[in-house]
Structure 1
Amino acid sequence: MVILVSIFLLNPLTYGHVNAADEKIPDEIYFLLQMENFLRTNYVNDIDDLELLRGAIKGMVESLNDPYSEYYTPSEFKEFLESTSGNFGGIGVVITLKDKYITVVSVLSGSPAEKAGIKPGDRIVEIDGSDITGLSTAEVTKRIKGDIGTKVNIGVIRDGETLRFEVERDIIKINPVESTVLGKGIGYIKINEFNENTVENLDNTLDAFKKSGVLGIVLDLRNNPGGYLDQAVEVAKRFVPKGPIVNIVSKDGKTQSYTSDSEPSPFSLVVLVNGGSASASEILAGAIKDRKAGYLVGERTFGKGMVQRTLSLGALGGIKLTTAYYTTPNGTNINKTGIIPDVVVEADKSNPMKDFIPISTEKTLSYGNIGLEVLGVQQRLKFLNLLNAQPDGVFGPRTLEAVKTLQKQAGLPVTGIVDSNFYKALNDAIIKKLSSKEDIQLRKAIDILEEMLKNKHAA
């Protein structure tokens, strides 16, 4: 998505008193003016001029029937720009809901929260003196965010003690790049989105890889929804040698081509893509594939070959409008078709729990109980390889033994009773097992990269 922010200020109802006899006004516009006058004259309550215009603009944009063109209210537009830029006013904490408390998962290095003394594991209970018990993470996040330079008071529970911190909000920059060195000269980079901070963080990673002796890179673009065009182009320049990267074709047929002036990359490259790789990530993937700068592995990409522009309407909000489409270096329009990888590897989409009986975490179960709730617990214990019997809905000796085993593994009192703490331990254990499944797409990418490095070394 191309972010081109313009300011377009309207004086509400500027044309409200134009005479119908004026030949310069088309019939359609005159009808709208009549409708505005009718509403103003006959509606029983007062009319907010700005809301009237916002409704008209929203209707016009929606009439395009374009899934990528949208109207935003002023607050929605602000949130949209923050989410795409990756920068916002905040204190620098990552939070989640844990044990019914909003809990700090991590604190960004050098952030206002770190300087104030907030630590991972702190349970947030107050914001500006108000109890936030029961609020969602989204609601708490919204209260923590604010204009740069303003202050927010955070109350937390730590080791049973209530602590309060006054934190001054500052610009928080989201790093969309994750990386690790896998060994054998291979580095792994995942780009979650293309925001304003992508290239800077990628360059830092590439510098670190060079110092670590990395020779080949797995670049993971799976489930990357896109972002800024200029960032995607700059990332492409790190891997694609001199020549075309992408062509942007506007409504009048004019083409703007973006090119690389880089020397060939020192890294061998394999790129992971799937159906969640869209827009700007497809620009990067398409350039790498067409220019043979690396191999694509995974599944067909999403197929969003359109470019959007944002327009600020001041007090009226803003719009995101599709203004062009793009083609890959070979001239391919991938819209609605996507990009087929060089090596297709389908992800394991099987769900081992799809036939499990739903369970209520509110119901306490114990030895001797019979029913579907017991059967659901048994199915999950069997999945964890803790139950050495076929699930039958009877809470007998083997089920009791399996329950106690999980309680012991989770550090819970070994009571043999299925209660709220047990249900949580059961869910955590299942999540851990599911997340430990081998990533077959990543495995294939590494295998290909190892072969590429082997051949390169032999040459």
Structure 2
Amino acid sequence: MRRIRKSRLFFFLAFIVLAAVIYTFVRQQVVTVEGASDLDVVEELYTLIEEQSVYDLDSGTIVEGALRGMASAIKDPYSSYYSKEEAAIQKASLAGEKVGIGVEIAEKNGKFIVISPVKSSPAEKAGIRPYDEIVQINDVRLDGKTIGEVIKLMQGKAGEEVTLVLYRPSIERHIKVAVERAKMENDTVDAKVVTVENVPIGYVTISLFAENTLEQWLQEVSKLIEQDVQALIVDVRDNPGGYLHSVAGIISTIGEEGKVFAYMQDGKGKLEPLKTVKLDEIEGLKKEIRKLPIVILQNEGSASASEVFSAAMQSWGKGTLVGGKSFGKGTVQETWDLANGGSVKLSTNKWLTPKETWINGKGIKPDVEVDQHPLYMIEFIPVRGSFEVGDFSEEVAYAQKVLHAFGFQIVRQDGYFDETTREAVVAFREKYDLHDGDKLDELFFEKMQEQVALYKSKAENDLQLQMAVSYVMHKLGH
């Protein structure tokens, strides 16, 4: 009996000891896991990939992937990581001179969306429009690409051609556009005098709020003041934005010192007012500018900093907005240089109007809404080939759209070459003396594009501009 009792006691004690050892080990493991920082885990994975992966990857590639992954995890189309090469391209986009096609894009849910083509850029001339989705550049599909890689694909030497495949939501189809890269001076402000009934009106176009835009604004507006203009029309249509300090400077030439033109709101909801500043060196010019009625032209391509400008003018009652609803980008980004030569751009704040309204995804409604004539909105698309009754193609659909905008009787605009399309083609060819024929051919397309360009080149066909002029004349009592 004693042996049995001793045996039982031995096993009981052994069980207690074993349980204590297991408990201590498990607790150590829990403490180790709970005590490990997130960065320790990143380093752990980095080491495992380097030592165990069957794929031969250098450390730079692994780090680049981690940096991109962290930026993309934010799920913000305006937050991005840029490699050293991509960062240089990005900085050049707002510098004094650049080579490219002139388009501002953002990534949204893996799609690359055009915010706006820069005014008078190759992209605008090629017919690229806000909300176009870029799906292919030359022969490269963009699935899985980063925004930096997309920007790099669009870069190249001046004079070289790049072909983009775009999906255009407004017509629910893909189109192919050839754009020639060009060297573009960042002359972001252009001004001239428009005389109506002997009344001189200053017409100022701001294509981008770049580093030197305030300086150019002061130069151009000074020239207009010297010519005794009675009002200003400021055109920020298709202006994709730019530097906040640049637009703040321009607003400061219009508003009184210390006036709130926007609010910054951080992630915790704290509001910080942004106020106009005193510009001593141009006090005389500011007084002259503030005497003038101001009309702002905007459209769906007016985004970010241009919306800050429009919102301030509208909220203050300093300017009347004419045109269409703006893009709706209500966040502000800051860029930091990284140790590897790259950079990261992050959305750090929301910006709100002086009335504390967040316009993100909503845009700013104009005071006077004006739709352009369909022909004025026709995009330029390279079209080639020969088509006749019974054919079906994108080229036919484009021709149908243009013919309809010109006022020809067209029943279909879906790309099917029917009898009414043939009749319209015959009428167009007769009107412009293109010899006998009822086909869409190279001669037809060349004349069609020529007439579209001619129509769009005439200021009287810009209905939004004409409304702005009419409004100014009304304000001046004419």
Q: Same fold (TM over 0.5)?
A: yes
Q: 2:252, 2:277 within 8 Å by CA — same for their partners in 1? A: yes
The answer for the alignment partner of 1:247 in structure 2 is: 263
Q: Does 1:429 align with 2:451?
A: yes
Q: 2:208, 2:242 within 8 Å by CA — same for their partners in 1? A: yes
How many Å separate the matches in 2 of 1:304 and 1:317?
25
2:216 to 186, 201, 217: 201
The answer for the alignment partner of 1:267 in structure 2 is: 292
How many Å separate the matches in 2 of 1:348 and 1:35?
56
The answer for the alignment partner of 1:446 in structure 2 is: 469
Q: 2:375, 2:406 within 8 Å by CA — same for their partners in 1? A: no
The answer for the alignment partner of 1:42 in structure 2 is: 52
CA apart distance, 1:199: 1.4
The answer for the alignment partner of 2:13 in structure 1 is: none
Alignment of structure 1 residues 296-315 onto 2, 5 Å:
296-315=321-340
How many Å separate the matches in 2 of 1:313 and 1:306?
22
Q: 2:191, 2:203 within 8 Å by CA — same for their partners in 1? A: yes
**More off after superposition, 244-253 vs 222-231:** 244-253
Q: Does 1:363 align with 2:386?
A: yes
Q: Determine helix, strand or coil for the equivalent of 1:234.
A: helix
1:210 to 217, 225, 232: 225
Alignment of structure 1 residues 257-406 onto 2, 5 Å:
257-261=274-278, 263-264=286-287, 265-315=290-340, 317-341=342-366, 343-348=367-372, 350=374, 361-363=384-386, 371-372=390-391, 384=406, 393=419, 402=427, 405=430
Q: Determine helix, strand or coil for the equivalent of 2:276.
A: strand
The answer for the alignment partner of 1:420 in structure 2 is: 442
Q: 2:376, 2:456 within 8 Å by CA — same for their partners in 1? A: no
What amino acid maps onto 1:424 in structure 2?
A: E
Q: Structure 1's 290 and 433: CA in aligned 2 closer, same or farther, altered over 3 A?
A: closer
Q: Deviations over 1:35-76 (max 9, x none)?
A: 112111222232211111111111111111112111122222
Q: Structure 1's 331 and 254: CA in aligned 2 closer, same or farther, altered over 3 A?
A: closer
Q: 2:296, 2:322 within 8 Å by CA — same for their partners in 1? A: yes
Q: Deviations over 1:171-202 (max 9, x none)?
A: 97411123221112212112111011211221
Larger relative contact order (CA 8 Å, sep ≥ 6): 1
**More off after superposition, 398-407 vs 308-317:** 398-407
Q: 2:50, 2:59 within 8 Å by CA — same for their partners in 1? A: no
CA apart distance, 1:372: 4.3
Q: Does 1:188 align with 2:203?
A: yes
Q: Does 1:59 align with 2:72?
A: no
How many Å separate the matches in 1 of 2:311 and 2:421?
56
What amino acid maps onto 1:272 in structure 2?
A: L
Q: Determine helix, strand or coil for the equivalent of 1:330.
A: coil
TM-score (norm 2): 0.62
Q: 1:306, 1:324 within 8 Å by CA — same for their partners in 2? A: yes
The answer for the alignment partner of 1:226 in structure 2 is: 241
CA apart distance, 1:234: 0.8
How many Å separate the matches in 1 of 2:31 and 2:242?
48
Q: 1:406, 1:425 within 8 Å by CA — same for their partners in 2? A: no
Q: Deviations over 1:19-43 (max 9, x none)?
A: x999997342222222112111222
Q: Structure 1's 427 and 53: CA in aligned 2 closer, same or farther, altered over 3 A?
A: same
Q: Per residue, is there more helix in 1 or in 2?
A: 2
The answer for the alignment partner of 1:109 in structure 2 is: none
Q: Deviations over 1:275-326 (max 9, x none)?
A: 3222111211122122222222233333322111011224352111011222
Q: Structure 1's 210 and 430: CA in aligned 2 closer, same or farther, altered over 3 A?
A: closer
What amino acid maps onto 1:441 in structure 2?
A: Q
Q: Deviations over 1:244-294 (max 9, x none)?
A: 223333346362533243654132111122332221112111221222222
Q: Deviations over 1:88-143 (max 9, x none)?
A: 489xx99xxxxxxxxxxx9xxxxxxxxxxxxxxxxxxxxxxxxxxx99xx989722
Q: Determine helix, strand or coil for the equivalent of 1:219.
A: strand
What amino acid maps onto 1:64 in structure 2?
A: I
Q: 1:218, 1:445 within 8 Å by CA — same for their partners in 2? A: yes
The answer for the alignment partner of 2:190 in structure 1 is: 178
The answer for the alignment partner of 2:39 in structure 1 is: 29
Q: 1:177, 1:189 within 8 Å by CA — same for their partners in 2? A: yes
Q: Determine helix, strand or coil for the equivalent of 2:476.
A: helix
How many Å separate the matches in 2 of 1:420 and 1:402?
17
Structure number with bigger Rg: 2
Alignment of structure 1 residues 126-137 onto 2, 5 Å:
none
Q: Structure 1's 404 and 24: CA in aligned 2 closer, same or farther, altered over 3 A?
A: closer
Alignment RMSD (CA, Å): 4.5
How many Å separate the matches in 2 of 1:434 and 1:208?
27
Q: 1:180, 1:187 within 8 Å by CA — same for their partners in 2? A: yes
Q: Determine helix, strand or coil for the equivalent of 2:157.
A: helix
Q: Determine helix, strand or coil for the equivalent of 1:34.
A: helix
Counting matched residue pairs gives 358
What amino acid maps onto 1:219 in structure 2?
A: V
How many Å separate the matches in 1 of 2:71 and 2:315?
35
How many Å separate the matches in 2 of 1:36 and 1:403?
66
Q: 1:373, 1:393 within 8 Å by CA — same for their partners in 2? A: no
The answer for the alignment partner of 2:133 in structure 1 is: none
Q: Structure 1's 353 and 27: CA in aligned 2 closer, same or farther, altered over 3 A?
A: closer
Q: 2:99, 2:156 within 8 Å by CA — same for their partners in 1? A: no
CA apart distance, 1:421: 3.4
The answer for the alignment partner of 2:135 in structure 1 is: none
Q: 2:376, 2:461 within 8 Å by CA — same for their partners in 1? A: no
How many Å separate the matches in 1 of 2:354 and 2:55?
57
**More off after superposition, 221-230 vs 77-86:** 77-86
